Structure 1
């Protein structure tokens, strides 16, 4: 029986463990924070639960349009303590579910930390485990090691979080009340999501963006559509503005911008990316290549440069998505245990930004098409023309499709809409299975439905003349 040690119990680690256990390996998972790792306990699950509360508030917006008098958003109050308690409760419940699933599968779960030990002769790797129980460190000789240690919010030396007024996204759930005014430093995915959620809850929000638009790495049409919604709902967005420092001033904070301006608020949320948790693992000493950024480079089957040592998830820097981390972990185990495996294909990975409205993408990007790296025809349909959208009074958003010029094969798509994370699925299926716009166009959709716009976009591309 092969012995496998997995360092980290997040999506990459626990999904890998379930695959390895299913293939009858002896599996040990070592995790410092709890089953599910930071993703379940402090990052993805908590933030999306928090956003779910903000969506409930959004449901009271403009109800008069539907003939319903709800007294509007002004009548809605948000109990921050109750919201935060629900966030923590659901995170712990999800962690317990993951732990139960691992134990049921026969996986040994160790609360603690692990690192690679000295190189050994033969075909095993020595892993040194330090349990949180206080027991002495002990070695495990493993045929395969998977490093799945995730990442931690990046801190700026001039904006050190204190957990009270200057916060990382892991600390917001400890606030006793909602901020009176929140300044969000960083307009990437995380910054945009929290800015959107707090704005929906009635908190005045100032978003500091170092680029000319929010979410600069996302589809430009989609990002601009969401930025327009943000502005229309009262968010202050400071484009082309870089924060030099954030400091406590009395009962609030002051953000100093590089051009000399200052922004004052009650709280500041620092959302400037993450750094991989790869220090103190003994990787470099063991001969595992570690990039200057701290990430562990891997190939498409999750191998590092050292045979038998694999890595998966945010510590690899491939794509900071739980879905990708989980697939990297599964692929690592399939490969290590001799199963047939399809290398990771990022072209078919769908991603979603949980703002309001949401932004979902899959496949090729607009930038690749615009600069000629990918030849494609495209169409973009505003949701405002969709019958179901009119009934729900959805005026913002669109569906965009890309296809190959000659064959009509669907190679990408973008959706901006409520629950775009669900609406992207038919496009993802089409990209994954090399479907053509003709095949998608001939699929009968529910009427009325938002998904009807996906089929309608395909129908338009069927008859789109090449320019």
Structure 2
């Protein structure tokens, strides 16, 4: 008989926690998961999945316009916000149910309450007013939206509330210019809202390649989205006509909704970490080693709460590695290099590897290949939206260091490019690959001469 109630107790039923729980159970561990909201985590419940469904919905208006160039005649289209939200909610309910069934099928106990660590091997279940013991404790509580502390801040919504609006706002101000902010700016614009983006920095989408950032800015403004850099909210006031947004650059903008999307922080408050002696960073991130182990024996953390790479597939990989290491006797770590990712703006972004700025710091000599063109579909449509493809190469060994794409289906391309770059593909490997014609992706294997050469000391 074990001295503990559970071999593994997981706090948080998001992607990383669920994956670790299921795998640990299949390896013979007695596992429980505590979740105070819904099973599936941010990505499934109020993140990537519902957002992508709304992205799909928002693209149709643009497609209706383009179809005329191909001979289609579409009657005046109309959009029903309540129907979209209802269908989206039904899909999220379905996925939530699947997550629950998969946990139950793997003999993982689900406890629907908030949990708090009260000792190195003890967890208090607040909703049930009892304490359980566990040989290992995993914290997988994800992240929470950051708030902007200005007068009238209560008039703003975050990415938590945006999925549950009862009506589509006609005028939206988006505060922030990271991928969440810009994706929702494009969603609302595609669904017919007037959209303004406020960003205090120099250029949108900080951390991405500079050519991608500037080109996305241009294309979003061409579509009709207003972007103000070097500006941020100063005060919000409720009026009869909506919400008056006063900015630090002395603008006044009227809105029906103001979406605050200025990043996310680790969801580590109120978990009893101080009581247990778990070390955290200044921003609340739980400090872990390469095996996701905290400074306290038998307490671990994965996913957004450690603020290492805040992506769903990364959390899943971390949870799997933890289960392999401590429940299957197979020490496993996660490789964080060359992680492909996508931004579902309009146009879309797919990227993997180093940006040009990063490559300039890490490598002596570079060859940069850059192509900017109008995709074939846009020609008959009369659409002048441009596509951008950029390949960054180490000129000393021909290895591809990074690839960045802006345009239709670039997220799908980045997944496959991620395989090639992870394997160490060279520009010669790209060149030796036969083109698929006619596609936009063929540009990746037909760019023969670099558009620029960067040589240190030259």
- TM score, norm. by length of structure 2: 0.91
1:148 is aligned, of 129, 140, 147, to: 140
Change (3 A) 1:27 1:443: farther
CA–CA distance in 1 between the matches of 2:145 and 2:266?
A: 9
Deviations 1:32-76 (A, max 9, x none): 1111023211222221111111122221123222222225xxx22
> Counterparts of 2:284 and 2:243 in 1: how far apart (Å)?
31
User: 1:211/1:292 Cα in 2 relative to 1: closer, same or farther (>3 Å)?
Assistant: same
Separation in 2, partners of 1:391, 1:218: 31
Partner of 1:344: 334
1:176 aligned to which of 166, 169, 175: 166
Equivalent residue, structure 2, for 1:136: 129
Aligned equivalents of 1:20 and 1:247: distance in 2?
Answer: 51
Change beyond 3 A, Cα 1:187–1:96: same
Contact kept in structure 1, 2:288 and 2:294, CA below 8 Å? yes
- Find the counterpart in structure 2 of residue 90 from structure 1: 91
Paired positions, count: 450
Question: What CA distance in whole angstroms lies between the structure 2 residues aligned with 1:212 and 1:464?
Answer: 24
Cα distance per residue 1:382-426 (max 9 Å; x no partner): 243x65775786742222112222221222111111121101122
Moved >3 Å (runs of 4+): 159-162, 338-342, 370-376, 386-395, 463-467
Would the aligned equivalents of 1:401 and 1:410 in 2 still touch at CA under 8 Å?
yes
1:157 corresponds to 2:161: no
How many Å separate the matches in 2 of 1:9 and 1:445? 43
Distance 2:279 2:104 in 1: 32
Q: Which residue of 1 aligns with 2:25?
A: 21
Cα distance between partner residues in 2 of 1:82 and 1:217: 36
Alpha-carbon distance in 1 for matches of 2:239, 2:222: 30
Asked whether 1:258 is paired with 2:259, we answer no
Give the aligned partner of residue 273 of structure 2: 283
Conservation of the 8 A alpha-carbon contact between 1:308 and 1:336: no
Distance 1:333 1:247, change over 3 A: farther
- Do the aligned residues in 2 keep the contact of 1:193 with 1:355 (CA within 8 Å)? yes
Aligned residues of 1:412 and 1:427 also touching (Cα < 8 A): no
Q: Which residue of 1 aligns with 2:110?
A: 109
Distance in 2 separating the partners of 1:3 and 1:421: 39
CA shift in 2, pair 1:460/1:129, >3 Å: farther
Distance apart, 1:260 and its partner CA: 2.9
Structure-1 residue corresponding to 2:420? 430
Give the conservation status (yes or no) of the 8 Å contact 2:367–2:453.
no
CA shift digits 1:366-389 (9 cap, x unpaired) = 2112445575322112243x6577
| Cα displacement (A) at 1:108 | 1.3
Cα–Cα, structure 1 residues 246 and 330, in superposed 2: closer, same or farther, change >3 Å?
Answer: farther
What's the C-alpha RMSD, in Å, of the aligned pairs?
Answer: 2.4
Q: Describe how 1:56-455 pairs up with structure 2 within 5 A.
A: 56-70=60-74, 75-119=76-120, 125-131=121-127, 135-140=128-133, 142-158=134-150, 162=154, 166-371=156-361, 375-384=365-374, 395-455=385-445
1:45 aligns with 2:38: no
Q: For the Cα contact (< 8 Å) 1:161–1:168, is it kept in 2?
A: no
Q: Deviations over 1:208-240 (max 9, x none)?
A: 111122212222111211111111111111111
Structure having greater relative contact order (Cα 8 Å, sep ≥ 6): 2
Do the aligned partners of residues 58 and 18 (structure 1) sit closer, same or farther apart at CA in structure 2, a change above 3 Å counting? Answer: farther
SS in 2 for 1:98: helix
Distance 1:214 1:235 in 2: 13
Question: Shift of residue 266 of structure 1?
Answer: 1.8
Shift in Å, 1:161: 5.8
Alpha-carbon offset, residue 275 of structure 1? 2.4
Structure 1 pair 96–374 and aligned structure 2 pair: CA distance change class (3 A):
farther
Between 1:289-298 and 1:332-341, the stretch displaced more is 332-341
CA distance in 2, matches of 1:464, 1:269: 40
2:9 aligned to 5, 10, 16, which one?
Answer: 5
Distance 1:68 1:341, change over 3 A: farther
Q: 1:157 to 1:55 in 2, by over 3 A?
A: same
Mapped contact 2:352–2:414 kept (Cα < 8 A): yes
Q: Name the CA distance, whole Å, in 2 between partners of 1:286 and 1:169.
A: 31
- Determine the structure 2 residue equivalent to 1:122: none
TM score, norm. by length of structure 1 = 0.90
Deviations 1:338-376 (A, max 9, x none): 543453222221121110111121111121124455753
Distance 1:374 1:112 in 2: 54
Alpha carbons 2:174, 2:198 under 8 Å: kept: yes
Cα distance in structure 1, aligned partners of 2:397 and 2:230? 41
Q: What residue ranges of structure 1 are gaps of 5+ in the alignment?
A: 120-124
Q: Which runs of 5+ in 2 are unaligned?
A: none
Q: Distance in 2 between matches of 1:434 and 1:377?
A: 16
